[in-house]
Amino acid sequence: MPSWLNNAVFYEIYPQSFQDSNADGIGDLNGIISRLDYVRSLGCNAIWLNPLYVSPFKDAGYDVADYKKVAPRYGSNEDLYRLFGEAHRRGMHVLLDLVPGHTSEKHPWFLESCRPERNAYTDRYIWTDSAFQGIANHLYIAGDTDRDGCYMLNFFKSQPALNYGWLHPNEEWQMGIDDPACVATRDAMVEVMTFWLSHGADGFRVDMADSLVKGDDEKKSGTCAVWRDIFSKVRPKFPDAAFVSEWDNPELSLNGAGFDMDFYLNNRGNGYTTLARDFVNYDANYKRGVTRPEDHSYFKKDAGGDITRFLKDYLKRYEATKDHGFISIPTGNHDTPRMVGSLTDREALLAEAFILTLPGVPFLYYGDEIGMRYQKGLVSKEGGYQRTGTRTPMQWDATKNHGFSTGAEDTVYLPTDPSADAPTVEEEEKDPASHLNTIRNILILRENTEELQADGSFEVVNKGNEVPFLYRREDMLLGVNPTGETREVEIDRDRSVVLKIGEVTPGAKSITMGPQSFCILL
Ligand code: GLC
Ligand code: CA
């Protein structure tokens, strides 16, 4: 595992929405470069960029049409190389997004694969041998090509699945994971990784990393074997490169597949979602289901949250994986609803403070540091659907388009928050107690305090769901009180307050925490 990860804090940038430098309404690489000092000032020393390759953008760039070329709307490969250099000069690392499971349906490999004549790409994707032969339990397309066969999808219709083989092939058209065609797919991905790493990238966030091997690979032994093979080809040449998986199963991704970090996310409804998500008033798509009490975030002030729901899931994963790699808990990402919207600004700030002080390598989603809000009711953009409201442009200041772009308002990628009190960097810079400055203080403290970094120990002090929730990082004591009431508790010894949100008063071997407060004690 690269040693720089122990003190890394990532900032995720959705490139189309961060900073437009040429008034065409779309964020770009020069824009990102112009904001590197800002990102670094937050205490973030690493960046993850969502896909910025040539693409028809039917899934915001996760439908790649050329793995080795920057989409012209963002700039050129040279601009990206310059970004790497500018980041490195500031002591920062940059991860690109690798999409290994599928390409765009417009990728030249796929266009070749669609041809009826056999060629070098015939087996690069997963095809049955008849247009009338579908694929059980998988999404597939029939009847759309001259080639006689159905092809498998990995996500949307525009994203055909690359062929890494089947764990136990049992049809003529299914190949084993070591079939030369499947090895060729792996090697093609190794080549893509090598290309960017040689040009200065510091690693990859890997999209749908668990999705490679098909069939009955539920236990993921096939997919883990493929990753181990890929890493054995990439790591010797690039020992400092870092890899974070979108997998949400650290026992498999860290211990089994060999990733350095794994995102703790998603839809199990018992982990990340109990911290950061409140399904109750998020979006029509989530309103369809029955709303249960556990759909409330722990940090919702009046919902009587129970931290043990998170701990039950997290602690066992943390204990099982901490010697192999890091769990990465994001404050949000381009797929999840922003916390602010269903949570209040203060509730979200407490959730972020908690996430950013846990072990592992945290990821801050652009705009979360100012409490940007989920924008309801937007028409889907580039395959975003309900994710669109999370992908609106960064709000820098009070000028046109909140400083994101000087282009016409009707040409910008997405509208910025129209509310009169939309949070901006400029406003929050002025207030030492703002959301922005609080996040910054936490991250700078973390960067200068070994105990709070990725492999500092983590221990829960409470026995159950007592308020405040107290936890230890090495010898530091941290507390959070998400409720509306003041609580006093005994602690192990007299301690002083290093950082706080809200009212926190230390006493003799005790601490009093006001409503919705957080503290780090020495
Ligand atoms: C991942 C990405 C998401 C994308 C999907 C398909 O979940 O985070 O944005 O749509 O994979 O590539
Ligand atoms: Ca632009």
Q: What confidence tens digit (pLDDT) does each residue in 66-86 have?
A: 999 999 999 999 999 999 999
Q: Are 254 and 321 in contact (CB under 8 A)?
A: yes
Question: Can you give the pTM of this predicted structure?
Answer: 0.97
How far is the C-alpha of 213 from the C-alpha of 6, rounded, in Å? 31
Ligand nearest to the CA of 71: 2
Instruction: Give the sheet arrangement for strand 261-263, strand by strand.
Output: 326-328, 261-263, 242-245, 203-206, 93-98, 46-49, 10-13, 363-365
424, pLDDT greater than 60: yes
Q: Could you read off the pLDDT of 237-266 as tens digits, one per residue?
A: 999 999 999 999 999 999 999 999 999 986
Residue nearest to atom 3 of ligand 1 (CA): 335
Q: Are 473 and 359 in contact (CB under 8 A)?
A: yes
| Residue 44, CA distances (Å) to 11, 247, 275, 457, 499 in order | 6, 23, 22, 21, 18
Q: Are 27 and 38 in contact (CB under 8 A)?
A: no
Of 10-19, 22-31, 59-68, 292-301, where does mean pLDDT reach its minimum?
Answer: 292-301
Res 339: pLDDT: 93
Mean local confidence (pLDDT), 214-243: 97
Instruction: State the pairing for strand pair 93-98/203-206.
Output: parallel
Cβ(59) – ligand 1 distance below 6 Å: yes
Cβ(511) – ligand 1 distance below 6 Å: no
Residues 6+ apart with CB under 8 A from 508: 494
Cβ(112) – ligand 1 distance below 6 Å: no
Mean local confidence (pLDDT), 292-311: 84
How far is the C-alpha of 21 from the C-alpha of 25, rounded, in Å? 9
Amino acid at 92: M
Asked if the peptide bond before residue 72 counts as cis, ω within 30 degrees of 0, the response is no
The band of 297, judged by pLDDT with boundaries at 50, 70 and 90, is confident
Res 287: pLDDT: 52
The band of 296, judged by pLDDT with boundaries at 50, 70 and 90, is confident
Mean local confidence (pLDDT), 124-152: 97
Cβ(155) – ligand 1 distance below 6 Å: yes
Distance 285 CA to ligand 1 centre (A): 17
